[in-house]
Structure 1
């Protein structure tokens, strides 16, 4: 009853606050608040966003239909200083009394405090002033609507507006548009003065955006001008500019038709005080000069060293510090080729990507030695970056295991280390953090730590003994990365040492596509504290302990009525599995003990992984502000196959488990593939709909019957199904009986609607579906395994809402998840059983989940 009365009081309070907010509070007498715009095109209501964006005035923004920002603005005192002073002007004695115990200076400062001034400034800044209907802005809206339809071929468009009164201080504006019939393009003619350009136009005219029969659109003419300019400048026309193209549109004597004349004039240039014209020429490159240590802002370069290499001329103020091919491999401008803008762009991108030079300056000048004056000298000015650079970062982190972490990462980069534009990076890292998920007998706040060092050597080319230019041309900006690393960590209580090594090729098949091929990806994980397993994985210990209590096990295995860790758990498990006891456990208990032991062995034994993988990413996202894009990632990984081939060829011995070992370690053998797809739709007004789908599966075979923990999947957490904590969902409908639940197959689907609340405060409504399952491995529990499509009934569904604050350089995120469908609920009420605030899962994250 108390809870019900509290909720009723809360709803009444919210109702009072909302009703107390008067939207028309700051609307002047005789004026009206704009509450609605309506656009009628040929008598039909139009909701097209592009058309509504032409309007100068739009109603105040709303949140779920409520004008939150307007009402916040109305709550503010627009002149808090005057109000504060008025308190004392009307009552002088009050100022004197306050000044006696605060001092006059403090009383004056009080007027600038947050209570008297700051809160009102915040409300004004966060809020939104009322949008008052303004006839001059309505006329501007009419003009923009007229231009919009005119630019889309409706030359005879008529526009009108009408203001409707909804109440004394509220009104709406209706815009009526009569388009009449659109004009279409009729005949297309060209007038190109320069013969060279006329020939180029003949080649490219089949790709024209201006065609007879198409409806007139101004944008098509603008795009055609840019298309022709790009084509001409990529085929030698160095001096060509868009201003040389003029479109004449002729509608005289035509009914809803327009003739188009495409005029391309000659090259016009200034010669002293006179203007001259001549035919456009198509230029070729006669020489490529590269200045490898250029000093900007000075005319004296004092060249002392030079070399000619494969038709490139390299100059240096000091002794040349680079192998010539290291630079010329990045140059796409070559002697004897046509001038092309795209080659300039590619050269600039590649040279910048070397990371040993500042962005280059590329200039062209006419070769005076050429009597025909149709050759260019390309001059590339390179300013080297410092050979050594030191960087350090200090970060506040959050992960699926670590609730909060503090990391410090210093690094040093050595550029051009072997004179081939290679870069060596040596970095170290130190991280301490806190996790609620860990065994923490000493109740330490910082109970997670990691220290490591990494060496990365980057080659700006494919590092192979043979040429790969035909397979991966240098226009794809290829590189090779060789890396080794070591880390020691105290995390989930077992503590680990991690040795890694990579030999990786990277390239960009297209502008927004990336490809990565790990020829070798080596990982060796050594558990330092395996005997602590049952202290960490308490659920496994409790299950084993309960089974042991039901049988007359050896009393030496127990202490205070419970199995000893680790001697008691080890001995009891051995007795059960080897049949050394005088009791016969039930089939269920035997399966349970076997499952517990298999999991213990899998999570405590050292892992050795030698993998090869290929990953590909494609995106349409152009920049950080782009909210209308998709991203597709795929990866395939194969581990252990090469070692098995070597083992078969060399008759490598097998251990007692029937598996081959390398350096006394069973190596992992599996194949793994993943597909990840993200799509964002920009719904305007800072509203975004985002979805993500993910599928991943890892199949063990040969030398393995399970997947290493570091390569398995988990579900739950701030970037996954946010209605479950990390590792607490699945596998299947098993109910997450283990402390860290993982499996070798995962399906995940998420959808999120994002919107603006106030200023930099954003909101979201989301739904997450998915789970993990065991498949083709040594897990036999049917609740945890994926058997057929009917197992999709075990897909969990969570939903909720989130709050995000945009700090420009990153977004702080809080998501509140509710279990909508819980496949592990055995009560028969899987839907909405825990859908309440008492069972809310709060997730903290940095940046958006996808």
Structure 2
């Protein structure tokens, strides 16, 4: 209650703040800037950034930082002294009680002075109108439009104070006039090598006759030409060598506003100590290629060995050995080929991707033969062995306290072909939060072995023509296992992956898992009803209706409450289910169907799983860096399981179980096809405000040897990265009301929308809406409330809305989201909207980094 009162008091204080508190009577608080071009309002973030004086930032329209600043005392020192000396004996009484030194320190304390300084730091001073800066903003706007060809534009501003005499809106007005048009293009190129290259690529010029003048086009054309020249042998071409002469007549009539453009490309400027000389550009070819594999070695030159391999001269020491072919595959310079910048970029990228060298250093030296250049590549090996550890302490609703420890040993260049072997082991031990099991502790441990090859390894096939080396091809072979004790059914898992990955560009990624084998063994399947308590309670409620049946007497606890007997786990639950399914007792049709469904679920979740899958994932984005907030991401994944084993069964006789399922090592293998699509789109609105959206659709269809999807490959809804108004596994399927401990299905639809905005410093806020659900389709679930039958089932899409806070730690982001159930399909039709839309039923989610 005290916390709520404090928050309420803070809210009242902030809401009652006067934004004009620190604005003098003869001053104006800038509240808005409006830009008009030929009387048309312009909404352009680039133009708005040119304005010197920007209005104070707001959070959902409220000037939070301004009002925090206004809460600070302007001169806390003088205020304290005035209070101290306001009464004749106050200072003396305080000095007698605290001492003179402590009274002086009190004036420097956080409550007296520090609080005001802190409020000023996190707050924002009012933006006071300064007409000098307004005129400077006009000059910027004028220069911007001149860069767009409006050389005769005129600018002015109007200060609007009609709504409040101390608040001002500034209207910036630009009269554009007629734009200048490029009438003719000519060129003056001093180098014959440059001249021929230019004319070969002039058709794609970004500066054309008849085009409106735009300074941005000239800058992009300089970048385009520089890239062409540097990838056509002109190794040392300087972008500053490209200039444009612009001839225009600003005194001509408005009908004749044309200009003539001359492209100039000068010679190479060589800066000496006292003078600058010039030299004609020329096309250079690669001559010698020297590779120094251990240039930081302390060995003497006598111990350095040299080997000639193709176009390369490799210098290496006994301290480090690597196969020449591996280096050749990572270097894209070829003897007697013309120099290309792209080859340098790809070489650096590939050498770094090998993860056995520190940053490579590539140096070019002009050869005495004129147009030849020697290439020296200096490499410094990373340590062969690298050991990493991690330690964590955890707590959850199931684990009272858990301690985890993991370690990873990385062995680089293990087979001298840049193969890297990673061996990791981890374990966790702790105390349970409840008495589900006889012991009050849990443990989990496991390990993985991963071997990475810097190439696509496929027997008898040369893949380098299909997947070039510059795409950073990688083959990964991984084997892992884990063991659990007192965690659910105590699963033992075994994983084996043979996968390939290649990256054609910074924006596209391909990943293929040719083999993804997963075996899951449930050690203690008899614990099912101890772990899945909701399922047990549903079964026990049904059994209570038949407790008087003599055949069931031994299935109930003898010492339990006579008015509420409970089934014994596992003998009682198994016995009751058998009695119902075998007709030993007479039950209603509804109870029979419910017990059958519960037993089907128990079998599905306790059966061992063998998944023998192949999958392909395609990722594409146009994001140019972590600060780019206007981009899209697309991911498509296709997975198929069981087909290879099914094909083998035509030649090798497999055993079958009672359900006619084919068995491998006594376990029915899963057979299904799974397809997923995900699209994420960001819009950078302005001033660090971002609108982000995501759409996801996934479906997994069982067939052949399976009539359902393994739990580990199914979908769930809810959680910090999904629909945040529900906890994980608590939403769906369909309009079912979270009857199971872990609700999952094989069809999922999710739609997310989030508006992100800055609040104070590294603290950001968000408003979000999450929609979606899961359904069963094409499997053995027959509950109409849980299945997707037609587009009419879309009425079961749940909607959650809420607010979020984020703290940016630079390297990661800590996230709190409070979700409210806005539309809950599990409720009856008349109560689905806003029934639980309150703080009592809100869900607090904790996450790391953004959900999408």
Which TM-score band (shorter chain)?
Answer: over 0.9
Partner of 2:37: 41
For the pair 1:596 / 2:584, whether they are aligned, the reply is no
Once residues 192 and 434 of structure 1 are traced to their aligned partners in structure 2, the CA distance between those partners, rounded to angstroms, is 79
More displaced 10-residue stretch of structure 1: 484-493 or 551-560: 484-493
For the pair 1:482 / 2:450, whether they are aligned, the reply is no
**TM-score, L = length of structure 1:** 0.93
3-state DSSP class of the match of 1:224? helix
More displaced 10-residue stretch of structure 1: 706-715 or 835-844: 835-844
For the pair 1:380 / 2:377, whether they are aligned, the reply is yes
CA contact (8 A) 2:436 2:530 kept: no
Q: How far 1:729 moved relative to its partner?
A: 0.7
For the pair 1:138 / 2:134, whether they are aligned, the reply is yes
3-state DSSP class of the match of 1:545? helix
Structure 1 residues 844 and 485, CA gap change in structure 2 (3 angstroms): same
- Work out which of the residue numbers 472, 489, 506 in structure 2 matches 1:494: 489
Is there any run of 5+ residues in structure 1 with no aligned partner, and where? none
3-state DSSP class of the match of 1:562? coil
Partner of 1:556: 554
- Work out which of the residue numbers 675, 678, 691 in structure 2 matches 1:676: 678
For the pair 1:567 / 2:571, whether they are aligned, the reply is yes
CA contact (8 A) 2:299 2:317 kept: no
For the pair 1:52 / 2:48, whether they are aligned, the reply is yes
- Work out which of the residue numbers 166, 170, 174 in structure 2 matches 1:173: 170
Q: How far 1:540 moved relative to its partner?
A: 1.5
For the pair 1:638 / 2:636, whether they are aligned, the reply is no
The 5 A counterparts of 1:570-589 are: 570-579=574-583, 581=584, 583-589=585-591
Once residues 325 and 97 of structure 1 are traced to their aligned partners in structure 2, the CA distance between those partners, rounded to angstroms, is 87
CA contact (8 A) 1:439 1:536 kept: no
For the pair 1:125 / 2:121, whether they are aligned, the reply is yes
Partner of 2:365: 365
Partner of 2:342: 342
Partner of 2:195: 198
- Work out which of the residue numbers 497, 504, 511 in structure 2 matches 1:509: 504
3-state DSSP class of the match of 1:598? helix
Once residues 391 and 109 of structure 2 are traced to their aligned partners in structure 1, the CA distance between those partners, rounded to angstroms, is 34
Structure 1 residues 490 and 762, CA gap change in structure 2 (3 angstroms): farther
Once residues 100 and 773 of structure 2 are traced to their aligned partners in structure 1, the CA distance between those partners, rounded to angstroms, is 66
**TM-score, L = length of structure 2:** 0.93
Structure 1 residues 17 and 443, CA gap change in structure 2 (3 angstroms): farther
Q: How far 1:78 moved relative to its partner?
A: 3.2
Once residues 410 and 7 of structure 2 are traced to their aligned partners in structure 1, the CA distance between those partners, rounded to angstroms, is 60
The 5 A counterparts of 1:402-801 are: 407-431=404-428, 440=436, 450-465=444-459, 466-489=461-484, 493-551=488-546, 552=549, 553-559=551-557, 560=560, 561-579=565-583, 581=584, 583-801=585-803
Partner of 1:283: 284
Is there any run of 5+ residues in structure 2 with no aligned partner, and where? none
Once residues 112 and 600 of structure 1 are traced to their aligned partners in structure 2, the CA distance between those partners, rounded to angstroms, is 67
The 5 A counterparts of 1:47-196 are: 47-89=43-85, 93-166=89-162, 167-196=164-193
Once residues 628 and 693 of structure 1 are traced to their aligned partners in structure 2, the CA distance between those partners, rounded to angstroms, is 17
- Work out which of the residue numbers 218, 235, 238 in structure 1 matches 2:235: 238
Partner of 1:354: 354
CA contact (8 A) 2:437 2:486 kept: no
Residues 288-307 of structure 1 show CA distances to partners (whole Å, capped at 9, x for unaligned) of 110000129x9986662010
Partner of 2:838: 836
Q: How far 1:627 moved relative to its partner?
A: 1.1
Q: How far 1:514 moved relative to its partner?
A: 1.0
Q: How far 1:643 moved relative to its partner?
A: 1.1
Once residues 593 and 429 of structure 1 are traced to their aligned partners in structure 2, the CA distance between those partners, rounded to angstroms, is 40
Structure 1 residues 136 and 431, CA gap change in structure 2 (3 angstroms): farther
Aligned length: 836
3-state DSSP class of the match of 2:834? strand
Once residues 340 and 92 of structure 1 are traced to their aligned partners in structure 2, the CA distance between those partners, rounded to angstroms, is 84
Q: How far 1:615 moved relative to its partner?
A: 0.7
Q: How far 1:694 moved relative to its partner?
A: 0.7
Once residues 186 and 434 of structure 1 are traced to their aligned partners in structure 2, the CA distance between those partners, rounded to angstroms, is 81
Structure 1 residues 137 and 694, CA gap change in structure 2 (3 angstroms): same
Once residues 77 and 323 of structure 2 are traced to their aligned partners in structure 1, the CA distance between those partners, rounded to angstroms, is 70
Once residues 720 and 533 of structure 1 are traced to their aligned partners in structure 2, the CA distance between those partners, rounded to angstroms, is 27
CA contact (8 A) 2:655 2:664 kept: no
CA contact (8 A) 1:301 1:317 kept: no
Q: How far 1:240 moved relative to its partner?
A: 1.1
Partner of 2:325: 325
